[in-house]
Amino acid sequence: MSELFDAVDALVASRAVLPPPAERKRLRAAHGLTIDEVAGALKVRRATVSGWESGKTEPRPPEREAYARLLDQLAELYPAPANPAPPEQDTAVPETFTSEPAPTPGARTLTAAPVSEAAETTAAENAQSAAPVVAAVPGAAPRPARTTRPSSASRRPGARKAAPAGTPAGGNDPRFENGPLAVVDVDADGQVFAYCPGGLVLDVAAKSIPSLVDWTLREAKLGQSKLSGPGKDADPLLVLTPSALERYGLPVALTEEERHAGRIPEGHKVIKQLAQAEWKLTKRGFGPWARIYRPATGSERACVQLCIPSWNALDTRHWGEAGQLPPADLARVLGVYASRVMTPRGSTAVTGLELMTALHPPTRASEPDADGKRHSEHNPGSLGKDPVDPAPCEAPDGHPVLRDLPRFHVRGPAEKLFEEAYDWARPMTDAECTLRHLVGIDVNMAFAAGANGLVVGLSAPTHVKNPVFDPKLPGSWLVDLSHVDLSRVKVGKDKWADLDASLLPSPFTPKGERPEGPAWYATPTVAYAVELGYGVRPLQAYVRYENGRYLDGWYQRLRDAYLATMADLAVHADLAPADFLAAMDGYKSRDPELAIVVSAIKATVKGGLGKLRERPRGEGWRPGEPWRALSRPTWRPDIRAAVIARTRINLHRKIVKHAAFTGQYPIAILSDCVVYAANGPSPLDFLPYREGKPLPGGFKLGINPGLVKHEGTQSVLWGEEVRERFNAPELNLARYIKDGTVTDVDNGE
């Protein structure tokens, strides 16, 4: 009889009711779970869970019952909204591009304040009042269930006639139905308008900055839902144009003294107005990215962030000419970035760092205690709320943990971890000089790809002497790798290759020089020496036993943002090699505004990782004293070192596979760009494709992170002439391969 009962139970489990795919994803994200965590719990592959959430596949027994049980429990914790907003309809998308799909119900985004300002920016008030008066941009995609009226805003020259591809509209959260941000502008008649993503324009009646902040929180319905279950909703962002600055009594440009200070003086009349209205500013003051708030009451916030492009809030290196765009166009650019990455919190570097915290908040609510109350507790998988000191070898010069070193002591490789990107070049061989072209290829989102799946430490380091190397244990290792011989390396299981080591950079140093003795390396670098077929015997190590794939969600968010925006520019992930090269040719000109978003996304990756090891910036700092960035739990130079090491190793692995198969060696490498000599001007003239398939483990053309694109082509004669002109036989040509313009040459560097 028991066998019959088991059979019946199995039959019931095989038909366990599951919510729709979009709801499955919402529930997982609401609890802050990654796809990898769910896959690990159910003992299935990551791709399997991804298929369940996309609706491509359905779970089968016995996983189906367990998956249904997980979703049922999450549904109790995070019930679906009673009346979800209807999806936005975009009726004016150009045929050339693919528009962004409507947000998944319940998908959430979070912005978190820096630790040093958390006490100031955690504030209260989410008061809701009557809907604001709205004016619709002519021809804009219709918004369901909205009342509109004509206004002078619809006649403004900068108003868009249609919402182009990639233009986000308001989200499904009714609190933030008008989007995450608005660009505030004033027309010739003195009327103030707020341009929102999606083509919506709001009338603004506020006559001062304090009243503008009140209007934003009470009427504008701006903001963004949190990205992670334990996190916080993003505060609304207002972008002030020069005309808006004049209207509200602020300078259109900062003086040289104000630029150096990063803010306007404390005695400015606008700051006095805010103080009289009981609004506060964070420690950074009223600068290009000002935050205005009131102290929190309970769990609610009352905080508005300002972005002032004419004060250089949008760095032209990353945002191009975004600050010069008309209000509606600027709202579109920032709106696409906000919807796909997060609402900007400052520079792209600051936003990249804040995205890490948004995806892994340091704390969460505990289970109810005996009295039914919940308390704040550590959120597993996060870096916690308290900063930790690095190992001495991981600390940059001047860090407090090194205060006992002699003042002018210079640390060598045996004292200092030095994991940086490649900057290597060599003279061309006689055979290479007979070829016609130098072709550069560039790895897409190389550092993001290096972060994907990387296990990093989540806690303080533990010092170990004479350890046994464990490639799964993140940390820093003092080990001698000078015995690794690149003339014979392992390139597969029981498969070795003989190479010309003189034409290859060492994978263990940024300059490509062979190490001469013991040195400190991050785990990925030491693991690669083992992969090449050589044994290692570390002398000591600083390891982190509490660890995890902290950057996975960060990578996935930025990868998806990058791929979606490139798809809007007609560069898709499934293109054949030749079609991909053709699609990349001039892609920026198809939609210059979305090209700005691509640039900002890439800068968010590099800048966010750079912030993990932020150095003092003024502040009256002296060596041996702490600086402001050290107060952040996200000041983690070991994580940055591990990502850079893995990125460099990933590139070297492809170079070795390519050399072993083709006999071709790189001429120069700069970070994620590699230059080869070839008979033709295209990457297809030297990449070993066979029937459209690339070399396994080698370079592959494509837009996905980790794949490569064409960086530029110059002639071999150009390269030789440049090196001869500057008397630099090892000048790094990868630095100039894009357009051939050579600048800032200094001793061959």
Q: What is the pLDDT of residues 238-251, one digit of tens each?
A: 999 999 999 999 99
In terms of DSSP bridges, do strands 237-240 and 300-307 run parallel, antiparallel, or are they unpaired?
Answer: parallel
Torsion 513-519-520-523 (CA) sign: positive
Torsion 442-444-446-450 (CA) sign: negative
Distances 127 to 218, 221, 393, 579, 587 between C-alpha atoms, Å: 6, 10, 50, 52, 44
With a CB cutoff of 8 Å and minimum separation 6, the contacts of 265 are: 258, 271
- Express each pLDDT in 44-67 by its tens digit: 877 788 778 877 788 888 888 888
The fold of 2-77 is 434 Repressor (Amino-terminal Domain) (1.10.260)
Nearest-angstrom CA–CA distance, 625 and 650: 36
The token duo for 268 is: 């400015």
- Express each pLDDT in 256-275 by its tens digit: 999 999 999 999 999 999 99
Q: How confident is the model at residue 219 (pLDDT cuts 50, 70, 90)?
A: very high
Q: How confident is the model at residue 724 (pLDDT cuts 50, 70, 90)?
A: very high
Shortest CA distance to 208 belongs to which of 276, 310, 138?
276
Q: What is the 3-state secondary structure (H, E, C) of 158-209?
A: CCCCCCCCCCCCCCCCHHHCCCCEEEEEECCCCCEEEECCCCEEEEECCCCH
Parts of the chain belonging to CATH 1.10.260: 2-77
pLDDT at 719 > cutoff 90: yes
DSSP state of 690: B
Query: What do you get for the CA distance between the two ends of the chain, in Å?
Result: 81
User: Which residues on neighbouring strands pair with residue 462, listed in sequence order?
Assistant: 543
**Rounded to 5 degrees, what are φ and ψ at 6?**
-60, -40
Which secondary structure element, helix H or strand E, spans residue 713, and what is its range?
strand 708-715
The CA-based angle 630-544-414, given to 5 degrees, is 75
Which amino acid makes up residue 86? P
| pLDDT for the residue numbered 5 | 56
Which secondary structure element, helix H or strand E, spans residue 670, and what is its range?
strand 668-670
User: pTM for this one?
Assistant: 0.79
Q: How many CB atoms lie within 10 A of CB 327?
A: 26
Which secondary structure element, helix H or strand E, spans residue 578, and what is its range?
helix 577-584
Q: Could you tell me which residue, 9 or 81, shows the higher pLDDT?
A: 81
Query: Of 86-90, 366-370, 663-667, where does mean pLDDT reach its minimum?
Result: 86-90
Q: How confident is the model at residue 41 (pLDDT cuts 50, 70, 90)?
A: confident
Which amino acid makes up residue 113? A
Q: Where are the alpha helices (DSSP H) in 20-117?
A: 21-30, 35-42, 46-54, 63-77
Look up tokens 């509200």; give the residue: 248
- Express each pLDDT in 453-506 by its tens digit: 999 999 999 999 999 999 999 999 999 999 999 999 998 888 999 999 999 999
| pLDDT for the residue numbered 298 | 64
pLDDT at 593 > cutoff 90: yes
Q: Where are the alpha helices (DSSP H) in 344-428?
A: 348-359
Residue 471 in contact with residue 522, Cβ under 8 Å? no
pLDDT at 200 > cutoff 50: yes
Q: Where are the alpha helices (DSSP H) in 387-522?
A: 430-433, 446-451
| Highest mean pLDDT of the ranges 13-27, 32-46, 220-234, 503-517 | 503-517
**Rounded to 5 degrees, what are φ and ψ at 171?**
-80, -175
Nearest-angstrom CA–CA distance, 509 and 528: 13
Look up tokens 């504030």; give the residue: 123
